[in-house]
Chain A
């Protein structure tokens, strides 16, 4: 291997000889005293990467003066696993299994964006069955609720409001139970596949989701009672983490943070995919551009999502059973899944058919699974409205059975650039609030 652009070790001459203070527990005033004794004016505090309030392995470097943050920088990369590189070595279908693990709180959005991109490259966007598209919308909107609930719950927990966390996670449990029913898994589903979805929703799922929706509404009522009239929460969140519209546009911030600054930009409306133009929903906006308005927006978005989920349920009920994968057998994944005694797996009937009666079906199954399908050369960029903003997928194909390049523009990655501008000049304690209002998920940031 040649390393034409290897970089040298990071050597910072300015940091040698600078006194360091290590705090793990203990009394903060001791450190402050020692710093005062040494006459050190500039204190740099390293927050994370192992810190419970940084949503994972986010490292925040804060230069503080007393309790005021004078400079803030975010350091990332602690969860980089090379998913994009790995995807270049698997088939187009296997790629779903990888990209679902990026932002693990909202896995179905990566799957959907990636599959829409592959379908655009293949030129089969219009051939995807209606039922598959409706199931995708159903899953994505449920996932949006689950993701926002995690944001609200952990955001509350970081401020010490444990009940907000327990209620939020209990409500999310309802969504995860639906996911387990439909996809077999609570996360890392790999359920949306190029050409459709892995299988149809199981019988009885529509009624289960309707019941879950009503209990979710009950939990949301509890969350609202806990949060919206809570004076402590309001004091902590209002006017904290301010980022105005011009700042958002310059930094490419999208999602609830941009909408809290007053711009109703939502990819579902701006560049509809999966037939979002046919659904009746609104894009909530606020103008305060602070952490409190982002909490309210996320709650309102959850109600809009529940509204869309109900519309998808009506459509699924109306259209009845039908295909959930493209008709082209050279693309459609041949596996017929079924729930067996040991969990979900290949349907025994399908195995019996290909092993026992149809040699051609066996060959076809084998070729498609091991070799995969070929995708015409070219590149596409597909975006979807992720709970955290605009998720973009840049796919390049060289006409082979594997992606030549798959790049994910993760909204959390981009939005973390706003940490500096949101935190500088504020208090150390407000850093936690501001970062929570960005809602970064480090699996997506680092990929």
Chain B
């Protein structure tokens, strides 16, 4: 696209929005962003503002003539829940509190928040205490989460200081329960203690999470890449890593690669 054409588009954008003559493009004001941030269910305190989305069709700046440019939607994951959590969730949290307070870790230090959403229990655990929490969950006879179903990483680039999440899924075969605990690490210091000493099953899962997200699990016996080749640069599942892909041409029409298609933000 030439500069001249961009200029024309700017003019066109200005023409269709006479009220916003300054730049031509519809700009989102700070006030609107702030107001958008308030569109959060009142009952919960927002915990993780994953993203703030603007517009509708993935077009930003001068190209957006859709009229949706002023739309601001905050993306908020469910925040901490209030007691009672319901079902056996209260019992598990009580027992965990007791165990952690007893062994000196302290529940308040280790568990940042308890989230109950869609009938699933999530414990947000401080990363320095993840091994203590894991061994408490595994070893206490009233908890007995003896089976680990692995680790999955999630990258939230907008959550400053908590960009990288490692989510651990555990099952108690004894009590027929399942929960997950989530640990965060900042992009600048992507280190989380390894849980392989508690759950040997997490060996490959932590390697996979390291491979795809760059989270370094300290104390892992052999933290090497597992899916990607050993000399691969970058960590492909991170949000700043492009999907790649090339446009496909068929009978004169060109289909752009999926990451460059219109996205309904």
Contacts and interface: CB of A to CB of B under 8 A. Distances in A.
Interface of A: 1-10, 76-77, 80, 82, 84-86, 88-90, 120-121, 123, 249-254, 263, 265, 270-271, 371-372, 377-381, 383, 390, 392, 394, 396, 398-402, 404-405, 407, 409, 413-414, 416-417, 446-447
B173 interface: yes
B238 to A, nearest CB: 9
Contacts of B236: 82, 85
B147 interface: yes
B214 to A, nearest CB: 4
Contacts of A80: 227-228
A97 to B, nearest CB: 12
B201 A252 contact: yes
Given A5-B234, A381-B120, A381-B180, A252 B150 contact: yes
A399 B73 contact: yes
Interface in B214-265: 214, 225-237, 240-243, 258-259, 263-265
Contact of B234 (A1, A76, A86): A1
B85 interface: no
Contact of B77 (A123, A265, A372, A379): A379
Given A89-B258, A90-B258, A378 B204 contact: no
B123 interface: no
A399 B75 contact: yes
Chain A interface secondary structure, helix, strand, loop or mixed?
A: loop
A253 B234 CA distance: 30
Contacts of A8: 231
Given A1-B240, A120-B118, A77 B226 contact: yes
Contact of B154 (A263, A378, A405): A405
Interface string B149-188: 1101111000000000001010101001010100000010
B64 interface: no
Shortest 4 CB-CB contacts between residues of A and residues of B: A252-B201, A5-B214, A10-B230, A407-B152
B201 A414 contact: yes
Given A86-B258, A381-B180, A409 B231 contact: no
Nearest to B259: A89
B231 A4 contact: no
9 contacts: A5-B214, A7-B225, A82-B243, A89-B259, A249-B146, A252-B147, A252-B150, A378-B118, A379-B77
Contact of A378 (B77, B153, B155, B240): B77
A123 B243 CA distance: 30
Interface residues on B, range: 35 or more
Contacts of B152: 394, 405, 407, 409
A3 B232 CA distance: 10
B150 A414 contact: yes
A284 B208 CA distance: 32
Contacts of A1: 234, 240-242
A390 B118 contact: no
Contacts of A86: 243, 258
Contacts of B264: 371-372, 400-401
Given A250-B199, A409-B205, A414-B201, 8 more contacts: A77-B229, A82-B236, A86-B243, A89-B258, A249-B146, A270-B173, A378-B78, A381-B169
A377 B149 contact: no
Nearest to A75: B226
Nearest to A252: B201
Contact of B200 (A5, A250, A401, A404): A250
Contacts of B50: 377, 398, 404
A76 B149 contact: no
B194 interface: no
Contacts of B263: 402
B233 A76 contact: no
Nearest to B231: A9
B167 A394 contact: yes
A84 B173 CA distance: 28
Nearest to A249: B146
A72 B29 CA distance: 61
B118 to A, nearest CB: 6
B232 A7 contact: yes
Contacts of B148: 252
Contacts of B199: 250, 252
Contacts of A4: 187, 214
Contacts of B258: 86, 89-90
Contacts of A380: 118, 120
A3 to B, nearest CB: 4
Contacts of B120: 380-381
